[in-house]
Amino acid sequence: MEWEVSLMEWLQNNLGDFCSVFGKIFSFIGGEMGLLIMFLILLFCWKKEAGKRVGLVVIMVSAWLPMLKCVVKRLRPFMEYPDRVKPLALEDKSASPMDISAQGYSFPSQHSASVAALYFQLAHEAKKRWLWILAIVFTVLVGFSRVATGMHYPTDVLAGWALGFVIIGIHALLLKFIPNETARHLVVLAVSLLGLIYVRTEDYFTALGMLIGFVVAVEIEKRFVQFKDTRNIWAMILRIVGAFAIYFVLNKLLKLPFSSEFLGSGSFAALLVRSARYAIIVFVILGLFPKMFPLFEKIGGKKRKK
């Protein structure tokens, strides 16, 4: 619709550098790294069980929305109107702005849905008024940033918000009718695997790999690790720093057997490798790394009393 393009054009022309900086900050909050930071803080530094529930909701959004995007196939604003809308927060800066596999489709906005799902689910878990306020503020600002950066039409953002709440509702129904955690995770995985039939975008295969790693890691951690929540600040820091060290190191190492041309080709084989890479990374961080947590308690000081 013309009003959507005119609004983005006006924002970019009148807000200038502020539009770019503001948009990139809040796009980061709603992007892969921003969501990962919050998830790890919740899981490793707050409450493990609540963190797992919040994490599952976000992964559901990340896996299911690309499946919907590839049905609707709405191009991003800067793809349809390159002379009027500038891409200020590309999904993959190393790829061409016109590369659908790397940049993904536009409708609905996954950033908007992910932030709504994460922060409103967190507010529900914590039952703190200030978190409800934070959820509203972040959801609105991230949605606005996606329009200001030319990454989504306003209607993409509205649909993203709506679907974020829908997925929170679906998760609540799963909790009610499928009390077994393993069965619940397998249902989500089964639905997500349907995307293999027709989705060929990086965001879906990233999320699918993370979901597979999450499902396997939760089972391994539950059976063989069983790490405890902590309130030791030094142990918290070591948990988060260690997790990100693993993330960056493994992300580099797992790319080494493949050429950059292959990894960026967008072929089905390359996308499967992408899923495998993220599955391994998430599995190591969530399933194996927590085995070191008792050591961190000793380094950080006295152990937390049971």
pLDDT in tens, 195-221: 999 999 999 999 999 999 999 999 999
Does residue 249 have a pLDDT over 90? yes
Q: What is the mean pLDDT of residues 255-275?
A: 93
- 177 — pLDDT class (breaks 50, 70, 90): very high
State the Cα angle at 153 between 110 and 30, rounded to 5°. Answer: 30
Neighbouring CB atoms inside 10 A of 226's CB total 10
- Residues 141 and 29: their CA atoms lie apart, in Å, by 10
Question: Does 17 or 146 have the greater pLDDT score?
Answer: 146
- State which of 82-86, 101-105, 157-161, 264-268 shows the largest mean pLDDT: 157-161
- State which of 47-61, 74-88, 138-152 shows the largest mean pLDDT: 47-61
Residue 223 corresponds to which tokens in the numbers above? 């059976």
Q: What is the mean pLDDT of residues 293-299?
A: 89
- Residues 59 and 37: their CA atoms lie apart, in Å, by 14
Give the pLDDT confidence score for residue 187 in this predicted structure: 97
Give the pLDDT confidence score for residue 245 in this predicted structure: 96
DSSP state for residue 229 in the 8-state scheme: P
Does residue 251 have a pLDDT over 60? yes
Residue 291 corresponds to which tokens in the numbers above? 């085995």
For residues 122 and 4, the answer to whether their CB atoms sit within 8 Å is no
Q: What is the mean pLDDT of residues 92-121?
A: 89
For residues 135 and 231, the answer to whether their CB atoms sit within 8 Å is no
Does residue 306 have a pLDDT over 60? no
Residue 189 corresponds to which tokens in the numbers above? 């995985």
The pair phi, psi for residue 230, each rounded to 5°, is -135, 155
Does residue 224 have a pLDDT over 50? yes
- Residues 49 and 287: their CA atoms lie apart, in Å, by 14
Least confident of 88-92, 199-203, 228-232, 302-306: 302-306
Least confident of 94-98, 149-153, 285-289: 94-98
Of residues 149, 119, 151, the one with CA closest to residue 137 = 119
- Interacting residues of 219 by C-beta distance below 8 A, sequence separation 6+: 182, 287
Give the pLDDT confidence score for residue 19 in this predicted structure: 75
Residue-range domain boundaries for the chain: 2-300
| Helical spans, DSSP H, in 30-153 | 32-45, 48-72, 77-80, 100-103, 110-126, 129-148
Of residues 160, 176, 171, the one with CA closest to residue 60 = 171
Compute the mean pLDDT over every residue in the chain, rounded to the nearest whole number: 92
- Interacting residues of 175 by C-beta distance below 8 A, sequence separation 6+: 53, 184
